[in-house]
Amino acid sequence: MSVLSASYDTNLLVRFVTLNHVYDPPYALTPNSMTQNNCAPIIAYQGHQGAYSHLSCQRVFPTFETHACMTFGAAMIMVEEGHAEIAMIPVENSTAGRVEEIYRKLPHTSLFVIGEHYEPVNHCLLGLKNSSIEQIKTVGSHPQALAQCDKRLTALNIRPLATLDTAGAALEVSKKGDLSHAAIASSLAATLYGLDILQEHFQDVQGNTTRFLILSREHKIPTLIPNQKYITSFLFTVRNMPSALYKAMGGFATNNVNLIKLESYTPDGRMVATQFHIDVEAHPEDINMILALDELAYFAKDIRMLGTYIASDYRYLNA
């Protein structure tokens, strides 16, 4: 089997431009009933309106109609079934680490990665109109958000209460009507639910950032442009031979291909094989990448290309 066949067999490039993150219109997608009827294309995300995923959708795709889903799987299925053009899915956070659920879902989806977006997280302490920080006794939010604000909450003697997501906590505050209860959520959630921002940048550590993947049914390897940086993502399992992983990765080292992520997990609860998710800073048409993939194919199996896309400039801001 050709190592590159999984990518080259797909069609129709979606042009994605990073940093300010906007599609370069008109984007090249197969017309469906939504676009043919001049309806706004739909982007799906997990969470309530006002979640950080929702905020990312609005920032990257301001002309798209956003659709909230209760689960990551539901957002991905919307795209698979053609009810949405793309999905905005978080995969890792600079403070909380990877979103393990997504890495377990990727091998089972038919979607492709067409872009990435880095969203700086600005946790806000939200309360009812005319409330003050001094009045707050309890605060609701997602457990990760609460953990990221633990020192602030302890200093203010505020008791944390875990909820399913940050925006849902904000919605609860607006409905509950209790001046002593607050939420940790985004500024967008404050706008949507009519809450006051009692304090911005409420997290203990500044620079907290979430990386999102943009998933689509359609993908084509983007045209190789000199000096443009690309990320190629794919899955594989190693063959049952000594030092197979070491040898599989050796091709990237000897061919000077920058490996920037290697995630491992046991698929489907089996303990006999390990699957790997890998991101490399390369385009499949780079000669060094071709050589590295050729060596990988000898020591690995079940290689599946997830996509090649332009690397976000956010990666290089502090380089």
Cis, peptide link before residue 90, omega less than 30° from 0: no
Task: Name the token pair of 129.
Answer: 């109109």
Task: Name the token pair of 97.
Answer: 């680490």
Of the candidates 193, 214, 45, 177, the one whose C-alpha atom is nearest the C-alpha of residue 124 is: 193
Cis, peptide link before residue 26, omega less than 30° from 0: yes
Please give the helix or strand (H or E) that residue 19 lies within, else none. Answer: none
Q: Tell me which of 212, 234, 236, 276 is the catalytic residue.
A: 212
Does the active-site annotation cover 210? Answer: yes
Bridge-partner residues for 199, per DSSP?
Answer: 125
Q: DSSP 3-state assignment of 253?
A: helix
Task: Name the token pair of 110.
Answer: 């038919």
Distance CA 274, CA 232 (A): 20
Distance CA 57, CA 255 (A): 37
Cβ proximity of 282 and 290 under 8 Å: no
Distance CA 311, CA 117 (A): 9
Cβ proximity of 188 and 45 under 8 Å: no
Task: Name the token pair of 300.
Answer: 């690995």
Q: Tell me which of 66, 109, 166, 210 is the catalytic residue.
A: 210
Does the active-site annotation cover 66? Answer: no
Q: Please give the positions annotated as active site.
A: 210, 212
